[in-house]
């Protein structure tokens, strides 16, 4: 395992993809923080989505691209076959790649957060990082939860990449998967945010437009159906992505646990498939 991790580290040191993604993550953090400070100074008020949480909205796509491209070359370059020839087990190969993918994903988000804090700290009084002042528990749980979410994404996309021999196919599958997960999260958010009552307008006897009697919204979720949608919203990576990006999660204490479950299940499934995969 140590030799495999050392080999991955050596690849990372020479990888333009890794350093480019790290630089882009840091640069994105600077851009988001500066843009939010300028908006704050120009218009006043507070942003609904603070700078420190913005990276969560793109983290799935970033990890999908990096994992599929970086580890997808192990088939075309014969790296996996060479590792097996040297006596490494398939489980060790998979776990070493998972550790590497997870560490890189965490570094990307940490680079973004460092950029946000470096730019935002001098402007805390303007509201850029107001959650740290007014809601420290929410602030900490959001950051911790988003970091654990990156581990879940890493495990999901590594499962696809190491069980797909073609880099192009795995890249398309991972990127498409990240997009679908995000769309599912947005859809669930829209359904759960639907109001219970709809208030329209009507003409009064004297010809004036007045509010009509509120009517029950047919799209409003109730009972078990609402609980099921809420569970999926909290459990799925796409639902967590939407909630963390808006710092509007209702179950911050449960969502990291759900991410860990996804991590464990994805790793178990990935290892099981990889052990039976024909690598000839």
Tell me how many domains the chain contains: 1
Which domain range does residue 191 map to?
A: 2-276
Mean pLDDT (the chain, rounded) = 84
Considering the entire predicted model, what is its pTM?
Answer: 0.87
In the chain the beta strands, taken as DSSP E runs, fall at 197-198, 201-203, 209-211, 215-216
Quote the CA–CA distance of 198 and 219 in Å, as a whole number.
Answer: 10
| 266 class by beta-carbon count within 10 Å (0-12 exposed, 13-18 middle, 19+ buried) | buried
CB 234 within 8 A of CB 257: no
**160-211: pLDDT as tens digits:** 999 987 888 999 999 999 999 999 999 999 888 887 777 655 555 555 555 6
Closest listed residue to residue 55, CA positions, set 95, 22, 25: 25
Give the bridge partners for 215, in sequence order. Answer: 198
- Write the pLDDT tens digit of every residue in 227-272: 999 999 999 999 999 999 887 767 888 999 999 999 999 999 999 9
The Cα 8–Cα 233 span in angstroms is: 35
What's the pLDDT at 125? 44
How many C-beta neighbours within 10 Å does residue 197 have?
10
Partners of 220 in the β-ladder:
none
pLDDT in tens, 59-87: 999 999 999 999 988 877 777 888 888 88
Q: pLDDT for 84-97, tens place per residue?
A: 888 888 899 999 99
Quote the CA–CA distance of 267 and 190 in Å, as a whole number.
31
- Kindly indicate the confidence band of residue 126, based on its pLDDT and cuts at 50, 70 and 90: very low
């Amino acid at each position: 395992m140590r030799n495999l991790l050392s080999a991955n580290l050596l690849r990372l040191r020479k990888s333009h993809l890794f350093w480019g993604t790290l630089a882009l993550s840091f640069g994105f953090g600077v851009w988001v923080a500066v843009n939010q400070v300028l908006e704050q100074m120009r218009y006043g008020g507070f942003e609904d989505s603070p700078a420190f949480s913005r990276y969560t909205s793109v983290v799935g796509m970033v990890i999908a691209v990096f994992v599929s491209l970086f580890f997808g070359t192990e088939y075309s370059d014969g790296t996996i076959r060479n590792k097996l020839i040297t006596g490494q087990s398939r489980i060790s190969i998979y776990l070493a790649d998972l550790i590497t993918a997870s560490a890189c994903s965490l570094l990307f988000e940490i680079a973004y957060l460092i950029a946000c804090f470096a730019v935002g700290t001098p402007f805390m009084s303007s509201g850029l990082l107001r959650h740290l002042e007014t809601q420290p528990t929410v602030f900490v749980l959001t950051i911790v939860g988003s970091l654990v979410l990156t581990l879940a994404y890493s495990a999901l996309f590594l499962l696809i990449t190491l069980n797909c021999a073609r880099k192009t196919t795995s890249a398309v599958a991972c990127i498409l998967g990240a997009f679908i997960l995000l769309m599912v999260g947005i859809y669930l958010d829209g359904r759960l945010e639907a109001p219970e009552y709809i208030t329209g307008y009507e003409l009064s006897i004297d010809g004036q437009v007045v509010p009509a009697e509120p009517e029950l919204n047919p799209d409003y979720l109730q009972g078990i159906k609402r609980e099921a949608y809420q569970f999926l919203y909290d459990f799925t990576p796409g639902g967590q992505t939407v909630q963390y990006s808006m710092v509007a999660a209702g179950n911050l204490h449960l969502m990291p646990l759900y991410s860990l479950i996804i991590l464990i299940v994805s790793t178990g499934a990935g290892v099981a498939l990889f052990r039976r995969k024909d690598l000839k």
